[in-house]
């Protein structure tokens, strides 16, 4: 799909992967709307990109539906959706203080997996209204993690949620194939986003020592480059693409 002139929503677009992707899309001529938390830098980022900001907490599913509808209304449609919001918790299945509490597990799954599916179903409904371009109506890109495949000790909730996102890609692509809507997930390794953006170089080197190359943390712009490549190439569909410099997580 030619990105120029297309309508794009980036969820989590105020920082990290989302901000880099929103900027890359805007630079390529897309019209961009950003959804992110009310306390984020969404207003500032949207203004820089000539887009709009729609504050929302994605775990509030009704509010998410309203915010996405407002974004689509302002854009005048929806062709591209990139979903990057998420987070985790560090708890073992059974720790010194007892079993992993269900509330935390449910919260992590709700934030990552359920919120992503809620966005996807609504984004697909908006894309289905488009006139096809070379038989294609839209592209959905979700954010998994290499933890989906080799989660570390204490990542059981995060692993379950991110594995769900990876696993949805093919089934959802099959669900939406007749409509000309593609669905993919990106599974990054350790990237310099959020709390990891400011860690010292020596600590970052230790965390990425088992990567093949490059032996460093990823950059948000590298995620954005893959998102652009996904949009550009219609044969990419129904899979979770690792973006990991050949790294495999050790148990801890």
Domains of the chain and CATH, by start: 7-243 (3.40.50.720)
Q: Identify the band that residue 204 occupies on the pLDDT scale cut at 50, 70 and 90.
A: confident
Average of per-residue pLDDT across 111-123: 98
- Helix, strand, coil % (nearest 5) of the chain? 45, 20, 35
The pLDDT of residue 176 is 99
Distance between CA atoms of residues 69 and 54, nearest Å? 10
The phi and psi torsions of 27 (rounded to 5 degrees) equal: -65, -30
Whether the predicted pLDDT of 107 surpasses 90: yes
Q: Point out the residues that are catalytic.
A: 158
Q: pTM of whole model > 0.95?
A: yes
Whether the predicted pLDDT of 145 surpasses 90: yes
Q: Which two tokens stand for residue 217?
A: 């943390």
């Amino acid at each position: 799909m030619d990105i120029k002139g297309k309508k794009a929503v980036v969820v989590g677009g105020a920082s990290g992967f989302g901000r880099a992707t929103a900027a890359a899309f805007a630079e390529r001529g897309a019209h961009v709307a950003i959804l992110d938390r009310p306390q984020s830098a969404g207003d500032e980022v949207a203004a820089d990109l000539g887009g709009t900001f729609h504050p929302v907490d994605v775990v509030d599913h009704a509010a998410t539906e309203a915010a996405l509808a407002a974004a689509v209304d302002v854009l005048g449609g929806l062709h591209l959706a990139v979903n990057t919001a998420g987070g985790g918790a560090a708890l073992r299945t059974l720790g010194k203080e007892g079993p992993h509490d269900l509330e935390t597990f449910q919260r992590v799954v709700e934030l990552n997996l359920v919120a992503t599916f809620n966005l996807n179903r609504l984004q697909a409904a908006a894309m289905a209204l488009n006139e096809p371009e070379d038989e294609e109506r839209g592209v959905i890109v979700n954010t998994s993690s290499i933890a989906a495949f080799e989660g570390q000790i204490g990542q059981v909730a995060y692993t379950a949620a991110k594995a769900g996102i990876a696993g949805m890609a093919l089934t959802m692509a099959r669900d939406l194939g007749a409509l000309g809507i593609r669905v993919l997930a990106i599974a990054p390794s350790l990237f310099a986003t959020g709390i990891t953006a400011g860690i010292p170089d020596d600590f970052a080197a230790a965390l990425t020592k088992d990567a093949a190359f490059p032996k460093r943390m990823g950059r948000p712009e590298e995620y954005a480059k893959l998102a652009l490549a996904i949009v550009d190439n219609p044969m990419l569909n129904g899979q979770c693409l690792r973006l990991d410099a050949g790294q495999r997580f050790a148990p801890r």
